[in-house]
Structure 1
Amino acid sequence: MNSLLVAETIWAEIKSANSVTDDHLSILHILFGKNLERATRIVDQRGVKKISGQPSQRSIFQITGESRKKEEYLCFPEHYCACYSFFYDIVNRGEQLCCKHQLAARLAVSLGTCVDVKVSDEQLAELLAKL
């Protein structure tokens, strides 16, 4: 079974149980290493916002980074993050499956701990235009 399929299975189990077991964390740590530890810190600090446009319900995630600057990165958890690591480690070098921001978004969604922010579709379009 490939790594992405294993990860998808774990995310689905976490979401259905609305909790994370030690087994889940062990498997995710094998797949994602240090990025998982960093992602859990972001989730613990409530650094994951799900920004949803109204009335379309389209959404993007805004993840607060761990640096002192507390930079915010726009992210589609399964496909894209605007951070440097996404382009360097994932796209360029192919060394990781995803960045810590994508992991934080996936974990927060699975646990139901995202900060939900509702905006107009126009505001969401303006946010997306910055990408």
Structure 2
Amino acid sequence: MAAALAGLTLPAVVEELLSEMAAAVQENARIPDEHLSLLKFIFGPSAIQALDLVDRQSITLISSPSGRRVYQVLGSSGKTYTCLASCHYCSCPAFAFSVLRKSDSLLCKHLLAVYLSQVTGTCRQLKVSDKQLTDILFAEKKQKA
């Protein structure tokens, strides 16, 4: 696997790793230790924290009839963060600081947990109307203000 990944950029490596993890989970119903080691190598302590969020089933996919999809992650602090997997965004302060401002990380633990929950199929699902989804997003914006 390492030889196959040698010419890839880091985001492509992450996508390849997640893809391989998804295939392994489908085949063996678990993530192989080799993939967990790579995950920890790439993301450091955030990988363990993200896996903990997945284990606690803290991720909910909220979808509406129009096809909009938003993830909410109940963080370890008890606060809920909104993640948009389609554009690699999380509303947490760590994402704003470490990912956007300092470029120290590719993802925060919440967004990584979203991707891992997709891989493992452990994401809770909630279907709401388009108005309800809009209300959820505006409620979070009001909390920040």
TM-score by length of 2: 0.83
What is the number of residues matched between the two proteins? 128
Residue 96 of structure 1: aligned partner: 105
Identity %: 36
Rg: which structure is higher? 2
Match of 1:14 among 11, 17, 21: 21
Task: Give ranges in structure 2 of 5+ residues lacking alignment.
Answer: 1-7
> Does the CA-based 8 Å contact 2:24-2:32 persist in structure 1?
no
Q: Which has the higher helix share?
A: 2
C-alpha displacement at 1:2, in angstroms?
1.4
Task: Give ranges in structure 1 of 5+ residues lacking alignment.
Answer: none
Q: Which has the higher strand share?
A: 1
CA RMSD of aligned residues (A): 1.2
Which runs of at least 4 in structure 1 moved beyond 6 Å after TM superposition?
none
Match of 2:51 among 40, 49, 62: 40
Match of 1:74 among 76, 82, 95: 82
C-alpha displacement at 1:17, in angstroms?
3.0
TM-score by length of 1: 0.92
If asked which structure has higher relative contact order (CA below 8 Å, sep 6+), I would say 1
> Does the CA-based 8 Å contact 2:82-2:91 persist in structure 1?
yes
